[in-house]
Protein backbone atom coordinates (compact mmCIF):
# COMPACT_ATOMS: atom_id res chain seq x y z
CA UNK A 1 0.00 0.00 0.00
CA UNK A 2 1.40 3.39 -0.98
CA UNK A 3 1.72 6.25 1.51
CA UNK A 4 -1.11 8.04 -0.26
CA UNK A 5 -3.45 5.16 0.58
CA UNK A 6 -2.81 5.21 4.31
CA UNK A 7 -5.77 6.31 6.44
CA UNK A 8 -6.24 9.82 7.71
CA UNK A 9 -7.43 12.41 5.21
CA UNK A 10 -6.98 15.89 6.63
CA UNK A 11 -6.00 19.41 5.64
CA UNK A 12 -6.65 21.27 2.39
CA UNK A 13 -8.16 19.33 -0.53
CA UNK A 14 -8.85 21.70 -3.44
CA UNK A 15 -11.85 20.86 -5.58
CA UNK A 16 -10.22 20.87 -9.01
CA UNK A 17 -11.73 22.38 -12.14
CA UNK A 18 -12.09 20.22 -15.26
CA UNK A 19 -10.05 21.94 -18.01
CA UNK A 20 -11.57 20.85 -21.32
CA UNK A 21 -10.75 21.73 -24.91
CA UNK A 22 -13.31 22.61 -27.59
CA UNK A 23 -13.82 18.93 -28.42
CA UNK A 24 -14.52 18.03 -24.79
CA UNK A 25 -11.17 16.39 -24.17
CA UNK A 26 -9.08 17.00 -21.04
CA UNK A 27 -6.38 19.63 -21.38
CA UNK A 28 -3.89 17.33 -19.74
CA UNK A 29 -0.96 19.76 -19.86
CA UNK A 30 -3.02 22.36 -18.01
CA UNK A 31 -4.13 19.76 -15.48
CA UNK A 32 -0.53 18.70 -14.86
CA UNK A 33 0.53 22.34 -14.37
CA UNK A 34 -2.31 22.98 -11.92
CA UNK A 35 -1.62 19.82 -9.94
CA UNK A 36 2.10 20.67 -9.76
CA UNK A 37 1.29 24.16 -8.54
CA UNK A 38 -1.04 22.89 -5.83
CA UNK A 39 1.28 20.14 -4.62
CA UNK A 40 4.18 22.60 -4.53
CA UNK A 41 2.02 24.88 -2.38
CA UNK A 42 1.59 22.02 0.10
CA UNK A 43 -1.99 20.83 -0.35
CA UNK A 44 -2.85 17.64 1.48
CA UNK A 45 -4.96 16.05 -1.27
CA UNK A 46 -6.85 16.66 -4.51
CA UNK A 47 -10.57 16.27 -5.20
CA UNK A 48 -11.50 16.28 -8.90
CA UNK A 49 -15.14 16.05 -9.99
CA UNK A 50 -16.72 17.98 -7.16
CA UNK A 51 -19.11 20.86 -7.83
CA UNK A 52 -16.23 23.03 -9.06
CA UNK A 53 -15.23 20.15 -11.35
CA UNK A 54 -18.61 20.41 -13.13
CA UNK A 55 -19.41 16.74 -12.62
CA UNK A 56 -23.06 17.36 -13.47
CA UNK A 57 -22.10 18.58 -16.98
CA UNK A 58 -19.70 15.78 -17.92
CA UNK A 59 -20.23 12.34 -19.44
CA UNK A 60 -18.94 9.31 -17.56
CA UNK A 61 -16.11 9.01 -20.08
CA UNK A 62 -15.10 12.62 -19.43
CA UNK A 63 -15.30 12.12 -15.67
CA UNK A 64 -13.02 9.11 -15.83
CA UNK A 65 -10.61 10.95 -18.13
CA UNK A 66 -10.43 13.86 -15.67
CA UNK A 67 -9.80 11.53 -12.73
CA UNK A 68 -7.12 9.60 -14.60
CA UNK A 69 -5.38 12.83 -15.59
CA UNK A 70 -5.24 13.99 -11.96
CA UNK A 71 -4.08 10.60 -10.69
CA UNK A 72 -1.29 10.52 -13.30
CA UNK A 73 -0.25 14.08 -12.47
CA UNK A 74 -0.26 13.50 -8.70
CA UNK A 75 2.06 10.47 -9.02
CA UNK A 76 1.09 9.21 -5.57
CA UNK A 77 2.39 12.31 -3.78
CA UNK A 78 -1.00 13.22 -2.29
CA UNK A 79 -4.28 11.30 -2.17
CA UNK A 80 -6.67 11.83 -5.08
CA UNK A 81 -10.36 11.55 -4.13
CA UNK A 82 -12.58 11.88 -7.23
CA UNK A 83 -16.30 12.46 -7.14
CA UNK A 84 -18.86 9.81 -8.06
CA UNK A 85 -22.38 11.04 -8.75
CA UNK A 86 -25.49 9.62 -10.36
CA UNK A 87 -29.25 9.37 -10.09
CA UNK A 88 -28.82 5.60 -10.38
CA UNK A 89 -27.25 3.32 -7.81
CA UNK A 90 -26.06 0.90 -10.48
CA UNK A 91 -24.33 3.68 -12.41
CA UNK A 92 -22.75 5.08 -9.24
CA UNK A 93 -21.39 1.63 -8.43
CA UNK A 94 -19.96 1.29 -11.96
CA UNK A 95 -18.34 4.72 -11.69
CA UNK A 96 -16.85 3.81 -8.32
CA UNK A 97 -15.34 0.60 -9.66
CA UNK A 98 -13.83 2.50 -12.58
CA UNK A 99 -12.31 5.09 -10.22
CA UNK A 100 -10.85 2.37 -8.01
CA UNK A 101 -9.35 0.65 -11.06
CA UNK A 102 -7.88 3.99 -12.18
CA UNK A 103 -5.97 4.30 -8.90
CA UNK A 104 -8.14 6.62 -6.80
CA UNK A 105 -7.23 6.89 -3.11
CA UNK A 106 -10.81 7.45 -1.96
CA UNK A 107 -14.26 8.33 -3.27
CA UNK A 108 -16.26 11.53 -2.84
CA UNK A 109 -19.83 10.22 -2.96
CA UNK A 110 -22.60 12.47 -4.30
CA UNK A 111 -26.29 11.71 -4.79
CA UNK A 112 -28.04 13.20 -7.80
CA UNK A 113 -31.83 12.97 -7.71
CA UNK A 114 -34.57 13.89 -10.14
CA UNK A 115 -37.37 12.58 -7.93
CA UNK A 116 -37.03 12.80 -4.13
CA UNK A 117 -35.50 9.69 -2.55
CA UNK A 118 -36.50 8.44 0.88
CA UNK A 119 -34.07 7.85 3.72
CA UNK A 120 -33.79 4.11 3.07
CA UNK A 121 -32.94 4.72 -0.59
CA UNK A 122 -30.37 7.41 0.29
CA UNK A 123 -28.66 5.10 2.78
CA UNK A 124 -28.66 2.21 0.33
CA UNK A 125 -27.13 4.38 -2.42
CA UNK A 126 -24.15 5.46 -0.32
CA UNK A 127 -23.71 1.99 1.17
CA UNK A 128 -23.50 0.52 -2.33
CA UNK A 129 -20.79 3.03 -3.27
CA UNK A 130 -18.86 2.18 -0.09
CA UNK A 131 -19.02 -1.53 -0.90
CA UNK A 132 -17.84 -0.91 -4.46
CA UNK A 133 -14.93 1.20 -3.18
CA UNK A 134 -13.18 -1.98 -2.02
CA UNK A 135 -12.18 -0.61 1.36
CA UNK A 136 -11.02 2.82 0.16
CA UNK A 137 -12.19 5.73 2.34
CA UNK A 138 -15.48 7.32 1.29
CA UNK A 139 -16.33 10.98 1.83
CA UNK A 140 -20.05 11.74 1.94
CA UNK A 141 -20.96 14.96 0.15
CA UNK A 142 -24.16 16.72 1.06
CA UNK A 143 -25.42 20.01 -0.34
CA UNK A 144 -29.12 20.67 0.33
CA UNK A 145 -28.96 23.80 -1.85
CA UNK A 146 -28.55 21.63 -4.95
CA UNK A 147 -29.79 18.17 -3.98
CA UNK A 148 -33.40 17.07 -3.91
CA UNK A 149 -32.64 14.34 -1.39
CA UNK A 150 -30.38 15.43 1.46
CA UNK A 151 -28.67 13.26 4.04
CA UNK A 152 -30.55 13.64 7.32
CA UNK A 153 -28.83 13.25 10.67
CA UNK A 154 -30.28 9.74 11.19
CA UNK A 155 -28.99 8.67 7.75
CA UNK A 156 -25.54 10.16 8.42
CA UNK A 157 -25.48 8.34 11.76
CA UNK A 158 -26.41 5.08 10.02
CA UNK A 159 -23.80 5.54 7.28
CA UNK A 160 -21.08 6.43 9.80
CA UNK A 161 -21.28 2.80 10.93
CA UNK A 162 -20.20 1.54 7.49
CA UNK A 163 -16.48 0.87 8.09
CA UNK A 164 -15.02 2.80 5.15
CA UNK A 165 -17.44 5.76 5.23
CA UNK A 166 -15.18 7.92 7.34
CA UNK A 167 -15.68 11.54 6.28
CA UNK A 168 -18.37 14.04 5.36
CA UNK A 169 -18.22 17.32 3.51
CA UNK A 170 -21.40 19.20 4.34
CA UNK A 171 -22.13 22.30 2.22
CA UNK A 172 -25.35 23.27 3.97
CA UNK A 173 -23.93 26.59 5.30
CA UNK A 174 -25.40 25.54 8.66
CA UNK A 175 -22.40 25.19 10.96
CA UNK A 176 -24.66 24.05 13.77
CA UNK A 177 -25.52 21.01 11.66
CA UNK A 178 -21.83 20.12 11.55
CA UNK A 179 -21.65 20.21 15.34
CA UNK A 180 -24.77 18.03 15.47
CA UNK A 181 -23.06 15.50 13.18
CA UNK A 182 -19.92 15.48 15.34
CA UNK A 183 -21.95 15.16 18.54
CA UNK A 184 -24.08 12.35 17.16
CA UNK A 185 -21.45 10.32 15.31
CA UNK A 186 -18.44 10.85 17.56
CA UNK A 187 -15.19 9.57 16.09
CA UNK A 188 -16.94 7.37 13.51
CA UNK A 189 -16.92 10.20 10.98
CA UNK A 190 -14.79 13.29 10.46
CA UNK A 191 -15.93 16.60 9.00
CA UNK A 192 -14.43 18.73 6.25
CA UNK A 193 -15.48 22.35 5.83
CA UNK A 194 -17.03 23.41 2.54
CA UNK A 195 -16.79 26.85 0.94
CA UNK A 196 -20.23 27.62 2.42
CA UNK A 197 -18.74 27.47 5.92
CA UNK A 198 -16.08 29.58 7.63
CA UNK A 199 -13.21 27.06 7.73
CA UNK A 200 -11.66 28.45 10.92
CA UNK A 201 -14.97 27.98 12.73
CA UNK A 202 -15.40 24.43 11.42
CA UNK A 203 -11.93 23.48 12.57
CA UNK A 204 -12.57 25.06 15.95
CA UNK A 205 -15.50 22.69 16.54
CA UNK A 206 -13.50 19.64 15.45
CA UNK A 207 -13.29 19.66 11.65
CA UNK A 208 -10.24 18.09 10.02
CA UNK A 209 -9.78 20.42 7.05
CA UNK A 210 -11.27 22.14 4.03
CA UNK A 211 -12.53 20.59 0.78
CA UNK A 212 -13.48 23.45 -1.51
CA UNK A 213 -13.05 25.08 -4.91
CA UNK A 214 -11.51 28.32 -3.62
CA UNK A 215 -8.50 26.36 -2.33
CA UNK A 216 -7.56 25.92 -6.02
CA UNK A 217 -6.78 29.62 -6.32
CA UNK A 218 -5.57 30.44 -2.80
CA UNK A 219 -3.73 27.28 -1.70
CA UNK A 220 -0.97 28.94 0.34
CA UNK A 221 -3.46 31.10 2.22
CA UNK A 222 -5.72 28.10 2.84
CA UNK A 223 -2.84 26.01 4.16
CA UNK A 224 -1.64 28.81 6.44
CA UNK A 225 -5.15 29.03 7.88
CA UNK A 226 -5.30 25.27 8.40
CA UNK A 227 -1.89 25.19 10.10
CA UNK A 228 -2.86 28.03 12.45
CA UNK A 229 -6.08 26.23 13.37
CA UNK A 230 -4.31 22.92 13.88
CA UNK A 231 -1.87 24.67 16.22
CA UNK A 232 -4.76 26.19 18.18
CA UNK A 233 -3.64 29.71 17.32
CA UNK A 234 -7.14 31.03 16.83
CA UNK A 235 -6.15 34.69 16.81
CA UNK A 236 -3.84 34.09 13.86
CA UNK A 237 -6.40 31.80 12.23
CA UNK A 238 -9.01 34.58 12.26
CA UNK A 239 -6.49 37.15 11.05
CA UNK A 240 -5.99 34.88 8.02
CA UNK A 241 -9.67 33.99 7.73
CA UNK A 242 -11.10 37.51 7.51
CA UNK A 243 -9.49 38.57 4.20
CA UNK A 244 -9.77 35.05 2.78
CA UNK A 245 -13.54 35.04 3.30
CA UNK A 246 -13.94 37.53 0.44
CA UNK A 247 -13.02 34.74 -1.98
CA UNK A 248 -15.76 32.56 -0.49
CA UNK A 249 -18.26 35.38 -0.87
CA UNK A 250 -17.50 35.76 -4.58
CA UNK A 251 -17.57 31.99 -5.03
CA UNK A 252 -21.06 31.93 -3.55
CA UNK A 253 -22.24 34.90 -5.63
CA UNK A 254 -21.15 33.64 -9.03
CA UNK A 255 -21.35 30.29 -10.81
CA UNK A 256 -18.94 27.98 -9.01
CA UNK A 257 -16.91 26.63 -11.91
CA UNK A 258 -17.04 29.92 -13.81
CA UNK A 259 -15.61 31.74 -10.78
CA UNK A 260 -12.69 29.39 -10.19
CA UNK A 261 -11.95 28.97 -13.89
CA UNK A 262 -11.88 32.75 -14.31
CA UNK A 263 -9.53 33.09 -11.34
CA UNK A 264 -7.21 30.41 -12.69
CA UNK A 265 -7.16 32.12 -16.08
CA UNK A 266 -6.13 35.33 -14.29
CA UNK A 267 -3.35 33.33 -12.65
CA UNK A 268 -2.12 32.01 -15.98
CA UNK A 269 -3.80 28.59 -16.28
CA UNK A 270 -5.66 28.13 -19.58
CA UNK A 271 -8.45 26.02 -18.12
CA UNK A 272 -11.08 27.23 -20.61
CA UNK A 273 -14.68 28.29 -20.14
CA UNK A 274 -17.21 26.48 -18.00
CA UNK A 275 -19.14 23.75 -19.78
CA UNK A 276 -22.21 25.08 -21.62
CA UNK A 277 -24.91 26.06 -20.89
CA UNK A 278 -22.93 27.70 -18.09
CA UNK A 279 -21.40 31.01 -19.13
CA UNK A 280 -18.06 32.65 -18.28
CA UNK A 281 -17.90 35.51 -15.81
CA UNK A 282 -18.43 38.96 -17.30
CA UNK A 283 -15.85 41.76 -17.11
CA UNK A 284 -17.32 43.26 -13.95
CA UNK A 285 -17.21 39.95 -12.07
CA UNK A 286 -13.69 39.23 -13.30
CA UNK A 287 -12.65 42.66 -12.04
CA UNK A 288 -14.07 41.92 -8.59
CA UNK A 289 -12.28 38.61 -8.55
CA UNK A 290 -8.97 40.13 -9.62
CA UNK A 291 -9.26 42.77 -6.90
CA UNK A 292 -10.00 40.16 -4.22
CA UNK A 293 -7.10 37.94 -5.32
CA UNK A 294 -4.73 40.90 -5.43
CA UNK A 295 -5.72 41.98 -1.93
CA UNK A 296 -4.49 38.68 -0.44
CA UNK A 297 -1.42 38.29 -2.63
CA UNK A 298 -2.88 35.60 -4.90
CA UNK A 299 -2.46 37.53 -8.15
Rg, the chain, Cα only: 18
Which is catalytic among the residues 15, 125, 167, 169?
Answer: 169
Which is catalytic among the residues 15, 125, 141, 167?
Answer: 141
Compute the distance between CA of residue 245 and CA of residue 107 in angstroms, rounded to an integer.
28
Helix, strand and coil content of the chain, in percent to the nearest 5, comes to 50, 15, 35
Decide: helix, strand or coil at residue 271: coil
The answer for residues whose C-beta is within 8 angstroms of residue 212's C-beta and 6 or more apart is: 14, 15, 52, 193, 194, 195, 199, 248, 251
pLDDT tens by residue, the chain, 299 residues: 333 333 589 999 999 999 999 999 999 999 999 999 999 999 999 999 999 999 999 999 999 999 999 999 999 999 999 999 999 999 999 999 999 999 999 999 999 988 889 999 999 999 999 999 999 999 999 877 666 678 999 999 999 999 999 999 998 888 999 999 999 999 999 999 998 899 999 999 999 999 999 999 999 999 999 999 999 999 999 999 999 999 989 988 888 899 999 999 999 999 999 999 999 999 999 999 999 999 999 99
- Answer yes or no: 226 catalytic: no
- Answer yes or no: 57 catalytic: no
Question: What's the whole-model pTM score?
Answer: 0.94
Amino acid sequence: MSASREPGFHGVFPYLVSPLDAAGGVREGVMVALVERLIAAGVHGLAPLGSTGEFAYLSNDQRLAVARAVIRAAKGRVPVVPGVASTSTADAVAQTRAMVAAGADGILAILDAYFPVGEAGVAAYFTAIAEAAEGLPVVLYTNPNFQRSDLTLPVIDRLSRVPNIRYIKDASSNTGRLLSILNRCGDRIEVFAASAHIPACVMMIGGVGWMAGPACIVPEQSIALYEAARAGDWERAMDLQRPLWRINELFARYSLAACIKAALELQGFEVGDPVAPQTPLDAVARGELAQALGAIGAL
